[in-house]
Amino acid sequence: MPPLPPGTAEQAIQDALGHAVGDVFVDFSTAPLAAASIAQVHRATLRSGEIVAVKIRRRGIERIIEADLTILSELASLAERHVADAALYSLSELVNEFARTIRREQDLVREGRLIERIASQFAGDPTVRFPRICWPLSTTSVLTMEFLDGVKVSAVGTSEAPDLDPRLVARRGADAVLGQILGHGLFHADPHPGTFSSCRAISSRS
């Protein structure tokens, strides 16, 4: 997604935290690290010197999502009335489930709690690392996390990360995902930079 207009992220932080960006962060990168449909992520530095990733929900996204959900619901009802095989797919139920999920996804406090819950599943496992949540600087629309540097899985074994073993990364990645799904029943299903940019979930060094 294209980034928010200049100054929008800073204003959203001030509205959410009640303080100007300069009062909270020593440094705040105006260019986002990643931008997704619901939020975008910026790198910043706390007054303590700690580098953090700040995830900011797009202003007005709630209205856009609700309008889209209304359209989807109407289309599902229309299809169920006029398409013979539509009943096989339970379209209205699919829309309702999607609505429930995407409404929850907009709550960044809930996301932070889920990060902590999933991280607890790997307590003591040195191959998996999740960011610490900075709760004093987090709200339903802003999530501040420890910044963890790393590379994308697609860069493993390339000139960008030549010292990382693709087989080891693949094995540890599979172990982490299967452990979440089969062992705990709770897993992070969308770990790309736009939604989880501060997390290097798989350590690839032996």
Domain for residue 183, yes or no?
no
Name residues whose C-beta falls within 8 Å of residue 198's C-beta, 6 or more positions apart in sequence.
41, 52, 53, 55, 131, 145, 146, 147, 148
Domain for residue 185, yes or no?
no
Domain for residue 187, yes or no?
no
Cα distance between residue 43 and residue 145, in whole Å: 10
Average pLDDT over the chain reads: 89
Domain for residue 66, yes or no?
yes
Cα distance between residue 42 and residue 56, in whole Å: 8
Q: From the candidates 85, 149, 163, 190, give the one annotated as an active-site residue.
A: 190
Query: Which of 30, 70, 72, 78 lies closest to 54 in space, CA to CA?
Result: 30
Q: What pTM did the predictor assign?
A: 0.85
Q: Which of 37-46, 58-67, 145-154 is predicted least confidently? A: 145-154
15 is catalytic: no
Segment 190-203, tens digit of pLDDT: 766 555 433 333 33
For residue 178, how many C-alpha atoms fall within 13 Å in the half-sphere facing its CB? 6
Per-residue pLDDT at 146:
96
Mean pLDDT of 5-33: 95
Handedness of CA 5, 6, 7, 13 (dihedral sign): positive
Domain for residue 30, yes or no?
yes
How many domains is the chain built from? 1
Handedness of CA 110, 140, 37, 169 (dihedral sign): negative
Domain for residue 34, yes or no?
yes
Mean pLDDT of 71-98: 93
Per-residue pLDDT at 198:
36
Per-residue pLDDT at 6:
92
Domain for residue 188, yes or no?
no
Domain for residue 109, yes or no?
yes
Per-residue pLDDT at 195:
53
pLDDT band at 189 (very low <50, low <70, confident <90, very high): confident
Query: Which of 32, 16, 34, 33 lies closest to 24 in space, CA to CA?
Result: 16
Cα distance between residue 191 and residue 154, in whole Å: 13
Domain interval for residue 28: 1-148
